[in-house]
Amino acid sequence: MTTLRNALRAAAIIVALGASAAIASAQARIELTSPAAIVNGEVITKAQIEAVVRHFSVTEGQPNSTTLTPNQALSRRHMAVAVLVDDAIWRQAIAKQVAAPSQAEVTKKMVAFEDDLKKQSRTMQQFCEETAQTLAQVQTSMGFFLQWNALVEAQSTDEALRAHYEQYKDFYEDTKVDVSHIAVRVAPDANDSDRRAAQNKIMNARNDILNGTTTFEKAAESISQCDTKTKGGRIGFIPRRWGWFDEAFTRAAFDPSLKPGDITGPVLTQFGYELIRLNNRQPGNPTTFESVREQVKNDFREDLRQRIIADYRKHSQVDIYRNVVEAVP
């Protein structure tokens, strides 16, 4: 979020909406106030799910979400509940780590925000109506972002930002690598026996490739559990971060000791065990920490958010009611 206004607009999709109308599903009527999920006792309503679906549509230039196909709408509702659960975990975690701001601080920011609205010929009442919030909810959102910004500023030391830059220097210099992989999935709740079986399967494949019994492509076609198996495991060029590749995968793929043709792994990622082959490396453009400092800080901020969510999730109770989430208005 680069401005206070954008921050509040984002907050509008994570606070409770007090709507009381009803929507219909194919099987039963679902009230907008019905719980779609409960996160550590905090209720996420059906109304919130629909608000996020509308938000997705507007940001993609489709203000009328009713034009979505049933499959598109279902996918967006699942995305919406994932976003809202993460946001709930994030806010709850921050509340435990950072003291609530004073009312004077919140009031000062609210006044500044209202002045910003006036410059756009808008009122606070209009903003509340547009975002389906009460004034109290806007104030609550403001308080949360003050807490979050305080934590980010405390964590964003020069030392921490420079360390982040060094860790992801390939990304900031736009270096890319062309890779192929073989993936053997491991479910998050897999037992030790299943994990060992997956590890042994991919180790056997690695040994067969290295001793010439098979090729990387044939092994991928035979055992890989990723759609890339139809292309011999070829992914293509990837950046150092972002996308669906987790840190373990990209860190291994960008290992500076690898030469084209080298295979690394098994690497344990969030999806399971993977072998990675470096096909080619595309150098980027040299840069300096000072020239990308603001981008580094923004990336550090998002990484901090994701780490907080991941850590707090381990101790969270999350219940999702799919019949409510998937109900069609």
DSSP, collapsed to helix, strand or coil, labels residue 34 as coil
Q: Which residue has the higher pLDDT, 47 or 7?
A: 47
If pLDDT is split at 50, 70 and 90, which confidence band does 62 have?
low
Instruction: Tell me the per-residue pLDDT of 178-193, one tens digit each, with 9 for 90 and over.
Output: 999 999 999 877 889 9
For residue 58, count other CB atoms closer than 10 A to its CB: 12
- pLDDT score at 45: 87
pLDDT at 209 over 80: yes
Q: What is the mean pLDDT of residues 42-67?
A: 75
Residue 25, pLDDT score: 36
Residue 13 in tokens: 């999709």
Helix (H, G, I), strand (E, B) or coil at 161: helix
**Does position 26 have pLDDT exceeding 60, yes or no?**
no
Tell me the pLDDT tens digit for each residue of 279-297: 999 999 999 999 999 999 9
Global pTM? 0.74
Q: Measured between alpha carbons, how far is 184 from 273 in angstroms, rounded to an integer?
A: 5
Identify the CATH assignment for 4-156+302-325 out of 1.10.4030.10, 3.40.50.920, 3.40.50.720, 2.60.40.10.
Answer: 1.10.4030.10
Q: Per-residue pLDDT averaged across 105-130, rounded?
A: 90
The radius of gyration of the chain from alpha carbons, rounded to an integer in Å, stands at 24
Question: Could you tell me the pLDDT band of residue 75, with boundaries at 50, 70 and 90?
Answer: confident
**251 within 8 A of 236, measured Cβ to Cβ:** no
At 60 the pLDDT is 63
| CATH entry 3.10.50.40 includes domain 176-282 | yes
**Domain parsing of the chain, residue ranges:** 4-156+302-325, 176-282
Mean predicted confidence (pLDDT) in 202-208: 95
Mean pLDDT in residue range 211-233? 95
Helix (H) / strand (E) containing 185? strand 176-185
Section 77-84 average pLDDT = 90
Among the ranges given (6-20, 110-124, 237-251, 295-309), the one the predictor scored with the smallest mean pLDDT: 6-20
All residues at 6 or more sequence positions from 23 whose CB lies less than 8 Å from its CB, including other chains: 29, 30, 31, 32, 46, 50, 327, 328, 329
DSSP tally for the chain: helices H, then strands E: 13, 9
Q: What's the half-sphere exposure (Cβ side, CA atoms, 13 Å) at 106?
A: 17
Check pLDDT > 50 for residue 11: no
Mean pLDDT of the chain: 85
Residue 254 φ then ψ, to 5°? -95, 15
* Residues 306-319: b if buried by 16+ CB within 10 A, e if exposed: eebbeebeeeeeee
User: What CA–CA distances, in Å, run from 211 to 36, 66, 134, 214?
Assistant: 53, 57, 67, 8
Q: Collapse the DSSP code of 257 into the 3-class scheme (helix H, G, I; strand E, B; otherwise coil) and give the result.
A: coil
User: Does position 163 have pLDDT exceeding 90, yes or no?
Assistant: yes
Place of tokens 């109304």: 47
Mean per-residue pLDDT, 51-75: 73
Location of structure tokens 């547009």: 130
